[in-house]
């Protein structure tokens, strides 16, 4: 089957400009190029593009990806299996967080007592981010990197883990859960009451959210702004916040950016 550059762009969710660039650098050549300059791709190129997207998601640069594409099927299969396991772990974490949100929503709607310990447990599970999984994955298949690079990554991971354990042991989990639940209720009320993202009330809530997140780990201006962007760009994050209120993801993205633009590093 033949795919035009527009077809393959839609299938792989990669821009046409990116595909043209991959062609220029020799990373992904089309199967056929017509006399009018139109590019056409076959099944082999589509599979190769899937591999490129896969490796790129894990932070490898294009030069490294070019080397990886030359691996044998056995090595590629091992990479795909590792990716599958990471996705399964991520699904478990997402389900846990959704469960916590459902419990919170039930509390808002019905009132009564709330199981803080269960919510804390789910948030702790979700705190183990895919960034750490990604680092372990890269280390496991680090034969394409030099020893010094791998050593630095291991040191970085060890320091991150040490910091996380320290933060977790020092954090007041019950206070974290209470503040987060109270904040969630307030931000949903703000959206429901059509408050503006730049209003003092909403920006005060952003300040509180920033402080809550700092309880769970280090927070910087860059990380904060990244959280805002991910609320709309990351499907899982979008679903989680949209479940609280359909307008919340876009609302939070704007409110977080306004607060973040005024932060000083």
Distances (CA, A) of 93 to 53, 86, 88: 23, 11, 9
Which pLDDT does position 205 carry in this prediction?
Answer: 96
The pLDDT of residue 162 is above 70? no
Task: Tell me the average pLDDT of the chain.
Answer: 76
The pLDDT score that the predictor gives to residue 104 is 62
User: Residues 53, 55, 59, CA angle at the centre, nearest 5°?
Assistant: 110
pLDDT for position 92: 74
Pick the most confident of 91-105, 120-134, 231-245. 231-245
Which has the minimum average pLDDT: 73-82, 198-207, 228-237, 244-253? 73-82
Name which of 43-47, 63-67, 72-76 the model is least confident about. Answer: 72-76
Q: Is the pLDDT of residue 137 over 80?
A: no
Q: Please, which pLDDT band fits residue 135 given cuts at 50, 70 and 90?
A: low
| Residues with Cβ within 8 Å of residue 84, at least 6 apart in sequence | none
pLDDT: which is higher, 150 or 101: 101
Q: Which tens digit of pLDDT belongs to each residue from 15-34?
A: 899 999 999 999 999 999 88
The residue among 255, 250, 208 whose CA lies nearest residue 231 is: 250
Question: Is residue 123 classed exposed, middle or buried when 0-12, 13-18 and 19+ CB atoms within 10 A define those classes?
Answer: middle
Q: Which residue has the higher pLDDT, 50 or 259?
A: 259
pLDDT category, 2, cuts 50, 70, 90? confident
Query: Which CATH code, of 3.40.50, 1.10.490, 1.10.3470, 1.10.260, is assigned to 173-261?
Result: 1.10.490
Instruction: Give domain limits for the chain.
Output: 3-51, 86-170, 173-261
Tell me if the domain spanning 3-51 has CATH number 3.40.50.150.
Answer: no
């Amino acid at each position: 089957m033949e795919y035009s550059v527009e077809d393959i762009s839609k299938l792989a969710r990669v821009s046409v400009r990116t595909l043209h660039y991959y062609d220029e650098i020799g990373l992904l050549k089309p199967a056929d190029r017509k006399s009018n300059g139109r590019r056409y791709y076959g099944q082999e190129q589509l599979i190769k593009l899937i591999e490129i997207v896969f490796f790129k998601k894990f932070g490898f640069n294009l030069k490294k990806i070019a080397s990886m594409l030359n691996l044998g099927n056995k090595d590629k299969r091992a990479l795909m299996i590792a990716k599958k396991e990471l996705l399964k772990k991520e699904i478990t974490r997402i389900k846990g967080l959704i469960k916590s949100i459902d419990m919170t929503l039930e509390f808002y709607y019905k009132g009564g007592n709330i199981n803080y310990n269960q919510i804390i447990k789910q948030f702790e599970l979700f705190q183990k981010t895919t960034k750490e999984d990604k680092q372990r994955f890269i280390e496991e298949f680090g034969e394409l990197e030099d020893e010094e690079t791998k050593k630095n990554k291991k040191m970085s991971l060890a320091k991150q883990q040490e910091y996380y354990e320290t933060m977790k042991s020092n954090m007041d989990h019950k206070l974290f859960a209470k503040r987060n639940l109270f904040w969630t209720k307030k931000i949903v009320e703000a959206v429901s009451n059509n408050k503006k993202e730049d209003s003092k009330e909403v920006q005060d809530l952003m300040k509180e959210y920033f402080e809550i997140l700092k309880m769970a780990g280090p927070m910087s201006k860059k990380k904060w702004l990244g959280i805002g962007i991910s609320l709309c760009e990351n499907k899982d994050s979008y679903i989680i916040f949209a479940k609280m209120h359909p307008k919340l993801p876009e609302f939070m993205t704007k409110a977080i950016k306004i607060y973040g633009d005024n932060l000083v590093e």
